[in-house]
Structure 1
Amino acid sequence: MAQQESIIKLKGKIGDLTFYKTKDGYQARQAKGVDPQRIATDPNYQRTRENNAEFATGAAAAKRLRDTLRPMILLTYDPKMPGRLFSRVMRVVKADAVSDRGERRVLPGNLGLLGQFGFNAAASLTNTLFLEPQCTVDRVAGTVALDIPSLVPKLTIAAPQGATHFQFNFGAAVVDFDTEGEGNGSVMAIAESETSLLMAESFAGVTLTVELPPASELPLFALFGISFYQEVNGKPYPLNNGAYNPIDIFRVDVA
């Protein structure tokens, strides 16, 4: 182990050397690692190769899901969401009871594990809206509808402080986890209600409908959430850039 004797105090990495501070002063050590070629070929690293392969599968699937659902995800804000979503997708990969270890993948029958995933950990849909809309999927026609009944906003919606208006957001997507590149079949459609006053006596209810490719056999995800706004000089502005908006995977449907 090398120890610095000069007045130059370094912390961090330079090349393959790591500099750090101890009670005995500033020291340096050479970074250690396993040769990538050995990991790729040595039988002792078979388990590592299997884990790396499934990690890559989960990362690619989570990215495909995020990319497809982006129009809805952008309505809210949670910097830790990608990591949380990856962890949930890895549960789907590990639930594959058919493939060999290292070759497990995202099977449609296991995608129910993604149900009720919240894209904003700081805002739970179940703690914000005290009713459950009804979702209807017609795969043959390619339509997905969400029926939101009439309600009294101040009794049914737990709005954050400063919000004056709300809007219901609905989206549905079919996601192709198997095909790479352009034209993989993943597509999303969104619909939204009118912006309504939180202090209104009642909300009349609304049915939000989106259209997807008819007769698709791809896994289908329905997302639902609420956006909050603050009115300033007669114009509504997103409250805190969406930090209080809950968006959840409301339903997962597989053909």
Structure 2
Amino acid sequence: MARQSGIIPLKGTIGNITFYKTKAGHLAREKGGVDASRIATDPAFVRTRENGAEFGRAGKAGKLLRTAFRALLLNIGDSYMSSRLTREMVKVIQADETNVRGQRNVIDGEAELLKGFEFNSNARLGGTLYAPFTTAIDRAAGTLIVDIPSFVPINMVAAPTGATHFKVLAAGAEIDFEAETFINGGAASAELPIDATATAVMALTVNVTDNTTKPLFLALGVEFYQQVNGALYSLKNGAFNALALVDISGIPAAPNP
């Protein structure tokens, strides 16, 4: 890989050289690698095919999870989030001890490995909201809950420069990775001033299907606003908004016969 220099950057392929643009600038690299038909059929590449199948499955599962939380992710500024989530989803699939390599999947893996995943690596929840909170997932009732005792925002919220208000949000999703469907919901506090006035106790509850057998995901986040002439505006397009998976309940164990 080489960096392009010159007045006019190139895009496309000339001979064996491919020119392309990335966040690191305009780059060039020589074409190479093994022919795709050989990878698809040659026994020497069986591990490559297995890894490729599972990586593709991880990417599809990650996209479904992102879609389930899309309403909040629209206000998150992290361009590498999808690739980071795919990487973690691969670990979930690799934890599948039921199926053989190449056929492992999210359903038989360990979805709980995603707990703590930060959707915005530039503004982590643990470094944004210092107020203690507890979570609970009640499958029988179909509820996902975040409880936050009263706290003083100026002491317990690490607000970026320019922020005058914040909002705490919870989102939950019941995801069917096989059917590629989901049921989601959300709850949020009011927009609160970042000052020395203690907040009310927060009990954020999200409802999904009663007695579901699908994996359940609970996320908690903080959004920041700036007040100008009495109106609140999202701060810097969500660059400082935090959102993380704080509780997960995978597939429940089958009852004993």
For this structure pair, what is the TM-score category when the shorter chain's length is used for normalisation? Answer: 0.7 to 0.9
Distance, in Å, in 1 between the alignment partners of 2:108 and 2:133 is 24
Task: After superposition, give the CA deviation of every residue in 1:20-71 in whole Å (9 maximum; x if it has no partner).
Answer: 9xxxxxxxx9844433322222212212111111111111111111111211
Matched, 1:242 2:250: no
Amino acid at match of 1:166: F
1:130 is paired with a residue of what secondary structure? coil
Amino acid at match of 1:191: A
Where does the alignment leave 5 or more consecutive residues of structure 1 unmatched?
1-8, 21-28
Task: After superposition, give the CA deviation of every residue in 1:64-102 in whole Å (9 maximum; x if it has no partner).
Answer: 111112112223211110011111101111122222111
Tell me the residue number matched to 1:232: 228
Are residues 145 and 12 of structure 1, via their aligned partners in 2, closer, same or farther at CA, if it must alter by over 3 Å?
closer
Paired residues of 2:75 and 2:238 also in contact (CA < 8 A): yes
Paired residues of 2:139 and 2:211 also in contact (CA < 8 A): yes
Matched, 1:218 2:214: yes
Matches within 5 A, 1:183-202: 184=181, 186-202=182-198
Tell me the residue number matched to 1:209: 205
Amino acid at match of 1:211: N
Distance, in Å, in 2 between the alignment partners of 1:105 and 1:179 is 13
Amino acid at match of 2:238: G
Are residues 239 and 37 of structure 1, via their aligned partners in 2, closer, same or farther at CA, if it must alter by over 3 Å?
same
Matched, 1:70 2:70: yes
Deviation for aligned residue 1:155: 1.0
Tell me the residue number matched to 2:58: 58
Distance, in Å, in 1 between the alignment partners of 2:232 and 2:105 is 44
Where does the alignment leave 5 or more consecutive residues of structure 2 unmatched?
1-7, 20-28, 253-257
2:118 is paired with a residue of what secondary structure? coil
Paired residues of 1:173 and 1:222 also in contact (CA < 8 A): yes
Tell me the residue number matched to 1:134: 134
Tell me the residue number matched to 2:40: 40
Paired residues of 1:18 and 1:31 also in contact (CA < 8 A): yes
Please identify runs of 4+ aligned residues in structure 1 that moved more than 3 A. 9-17, 29-35
| Percent of matched pairs sharing the same residue | 39
Matches within 5 A, 1:77-156: 77-107=77-107, 110-156=110-156
Paired residues of 2:172 and 2:185 also in contact (CA < 8 A): yes
Distance, in Å, in 1 between the alignment partners of 2:157 and 2:72 is 20
Deviation for aligned residue 1:138: 2.1
Distance, in Å, in 2 between the alignment partners of 1:204 and 1:13 is 57
Paired residues of 1:108 and 1:219 also in contact (CA < 8 A): no
Aligned positions, number: 235
TM-score (normalizing by structure 1): 0.85
- CA-based RMSD of the aligned residues comes to 2.2
Tell me the residue number matched to 2:49: 49
Distance, in Å, in 1 between the alignment partners of 2:44 and 2:109 is 33
Amino acid at match of 1:46: V
